[in-house]
Structure formats: structure tokens, C-alpha cells
Chain A
Amino acid sequence: MTKTDGDDAEYDSGGATAHPENASVGEASTSDGTEAITFDRSGIRAGFLTCLPIALGVGGYGIAFGMLARRAGLSVAEAALMSATLLAGAAQIIAVELWTEPIPVTAIIIATLAINLRYSLMGAALGPWLGRLSPLRSYGSLLVMADENWALTMREFQSGSGRGAFLLGTGIAMWVFWVTSTIIGAAAGGMIGDPASYGIDFVLAAVFVALATELWEGRSTLVPWLVALATAVVAAALVPGQWYILLGGFAAAAVEVVRHDG
């Protein structure tokens, strides 16, 4: 038999892969393989400036949220508080659509959880980079993560720039525009008529179409996306609430786990 035995193979795979995360013993360990990760003002600045045009677009969506919140009976201050403490567009819009008198507290909290669980997965996707920052910096940056700046940050990290503060910078831009536009939308809410006549109700779908275009990675994406699409459309018709989002996501992930075998 010419085949190497199991033990050797194990040693091989263990030794061949240099784990960049484990290289922290040597301080000058970052010269060749993996880029050094920094966390400084220039990273924040780069993230902020890169995100500005997108944050401006998100502002249109914030105006829509402010108007919807006002129509649901929230005050300008309450709508602004929600935007400032959540920074989670889809969950906020759905929450104010559920908002009635008396407030369906449980439904709103569960919907918020169901819609935002995707952030856990998005945060995990940033793990290889954020995991090398201190807990305060990494978790602090994650608090200002939303869909759009997550996509920008993923792109930045994958380019190998090593700017660990990029997420925080993009998040600050998102936060400023999101909160400001919420206030504008909520204050104007009474004066502006039906959002549909301005196409504002379409901004959410437009953002996600743009996001999907960016996330498209070629043919390998097709199967999981079709699975997600079919599952979500069927689940949306059969299952109450927003569970279809997670069901679609998990169905695609499950298919990918199975496909990974072959």
C-alpha cells in the first residue's frame, strides 16, 4: 500500500496551515502572510467617507420610516429614540407596521428578534477580522452594523486593507443619516401624503435589490438563492409573521451544508 497512514495526513494538514490568529506571540509576525489589523482614526474616516453616499440613500428610507412611525402613533422623539438605539431599518419598519393600540409588545419583540437574527450571522462573517480586535472595539463596532455598511465592510476587509475601524466609521455615517432622516420624516409625516405616491414605499425593495446585486457571486450563488426564494415565498403565505425570512435563510444554509459534501 502506497497510501500514507492517517496520522501522517493529520500532521500534514495541521502543520501546513499557518493560523494567523495564533501568531500573536511574535509582535512582528505580520510582515508577509496576513495583513496587520489596525484600529485608528484614519480607518474610521475611510469608513465614514466610503459610506456617505450609501448613507444618503439610506436617509430616504429613514424618512419613510419616520413617516410610518408617525402614522402608527409614535411621537417624533419616540421615532428618533428607536432609530438611535436600534439602527435596524427592516425591523423598525415592520415594528411600526405592527404597532397598534394597545401595543402588541410580544409580537413586536419577537418580530425584532426574528428579523435581526441575520445580524448574528453577518457579524460572524466579519469574525476573521473583528475577532482580532479587543472586545470593546469589536462589539462596539458591531452595534452600529446594519445591512448596507456590513456589505461595504465585508468588501473592505476582503481587500486586505486591515482597517479594523472601517466598520465603526461606516456605522457612524449610517447612524447620523438614519437618525436625522427619521426626525425629518417624522416631523414632516403629517404634511406629506401617501408615501406610495412618491415611491418611498419602494425604497426598501430597491435597497435589497441593490444589495443582492452586490452579494451575487456567480453561479455558486444560484442554488442557495433559489432555495431561499422558494422557501420564503411559500413560508410567507403559510406561516404568520416574519419567520419566512429566517426559514429562507436557514433552508439555503442547510442546502449548502449538504452540497459541501459532494
Chain B
Amino acid sequence: MMGEGALALDPLVVGVVLAMALVTALTKVGGLWLLRRLEVSERLEAALSVLPGAIVIAILGPELATGGPAEWGAAGVVLLVMWRTESIPLSLCSGVGTVVLFRAIL
């Protein structure tokens, strides 16, 4: 059962969601838009190339820092499985399985 108001659309909520959607769309197309108008130096290219990994690490670091041994161990399992198998589904499942197991026994 979905409960009361599952299909409700509050005008304010819809407005906020659409504003978020607009901002998101601008960030998604903005990089290419700028790139088409900019002369990209080799130096800028080098900086751009490290950004994806750096951003992933910047999200992950504080996230794991607030966790405990269960999260750290599970992160290690994801790393190992991903490195060995290069399968995202497999590494996700083993990571989630490990975190549940570790939280139960630690």
C-alpha cells in the first residue's frame, strides 16, 4: 500500500525540484558549452584530467572518515573485488554484504 498522498504534488515542492533540475542541467551542459568558446591550454587540460578522480576522492574521504571499521573493511572489499573482477554489480553486492556482516559481528 502506498499510503495517503503518495501521488500528491505540492506546488512549492515541484517548484524547488524544477529549480534543482534547471541548475543540474546547466552544470551538465555548461562544461562543453564553455569549452566550445575557450582556448584550452595544455595546462588547463592537465588540470581537467585529474578532476574526476579527485572529486570522487573528495566525496569518498569524508564519507569514510565518519564511518567505522565496518565501513572501512567493506570499502576494502569493494576495492579488492573491483580491482580483480572490474564488475561494478559484483563489487557493490560484496561491499553491501560485507558492511551488513561486519555491523552484525563487530
Asked if A192 is an interface residue, CB under 8 A from chain B, the answer is: no
Any chain B CB within 8 A of the CB of A23?
Answer: no
- Which chain B residues have a beta carbon within 8 Å of chain A's beta carbons? 2-3, 5-10, 12-14, 16-21, 23-25, 27-36, 42-44, 46-65, 67, 71, 74-75, 78-79, 82-83, 86-89, 91-92, 95-97, 99-100, 103
User: Which residue of the partner chain A has the closest CB to B51?
Assistant: A121
Tell me whether B23 and A248 are in contact (CB under 8 A): no
Report A-chain residues with C-beta under 8 Å of the C-beta of B86: 214
- Contact surface of A with B, Cβ cutoff 8 Å: 53-54, 56-57, 60, 74-78, 81-82, 85-88, 90-91, 95, 103, 105, 108-109, 112-113, 116-127, 130-131, 138-139, 142-143, 145, 147-148, 150-151, 154, 186-187, 190, 196-200, 202-217, 221, 224-225, 227-229, 231-233, 236, 244-249, 251-254, 256-257, 259-260
B20: nearest chain-A partner, CB-CB? A112
Chain B residues with CB under 8 A of A53: 87-89
Contact A125 B49, beta carbon cutoff 8 Å? yes
- Cα A67 to Cα B54 with chains together (Å): 29
**What residues of chain A lie closer than 8 Å to B55, measured between beta carbons?**
118, 121, 228, 245-246, 248-249
Residue of A nearest to B100 (CB): A199
State whether B54 touches A120 (Cβ < 8 A). Answer: no
User: Are A121 and B48 also in contact (CB < 8 A) when A75-B6, A113-B23, A142-B28 are?
Assistant: yes
Q: In whole angstroms, how far apart are the Cα atoms of A17 and B74 in the complex? A: 47
Contact between B53 and A109, CB atoms less than 8 A apart: no
What would 12 more interface pairs be, CB under 8 Å, given A124-B32, A229-B57? Answer: A57-B92, A75-B6, A112-B23, A121-B48, A126-B32, A143-B28, A145-B28, A202-B96, A205-B75, A206-B96, A215-B52, A256-B50
Contact between A116 and B82 (Cβ–Cβ < 8 Å)? no
Contact A215 B53 (CB under 8 A): yes
Please report the C-alpha to C-alpha distance between residue A12 and residue B78 in the assembled complex, in whole angstroms: 49
B28, B65, B99: the one within 8 Å of A123 (CB): B28
Known contacts: A91-B20, A103-B16, A120-B31. The answer to whether A77 contacts B9 by CB under 8 A is yes
Q: Which residues of B contact A57 (CB under 8 A)?
A: 88-89, 92
Contact partners of A260 in chain B: CB under 8 A? 42-43, 46-47
A85 B27 Cβ-Cβ under 8 A: no
Whole-angstrom distance between the Cβ of A107 and the nearest chain B Cβ: 11
Q: Are B24 and A88 in contact, with the CB atoms below 8 A?
A: yes
**B23 and A116 form a contact (CB under 8 A):** yes
Selected A-B contacts with CB under 8 Å, 5 pairs: A122-B51, A139-B33, A206-B78, A209-B79, A212-B57
> Which of these, B30, B53, B89, contacts A120 with CB under 8 Å?
B30
Contact among B8, B27, B65, B74 for A78, CB-based, below 8 A: B8
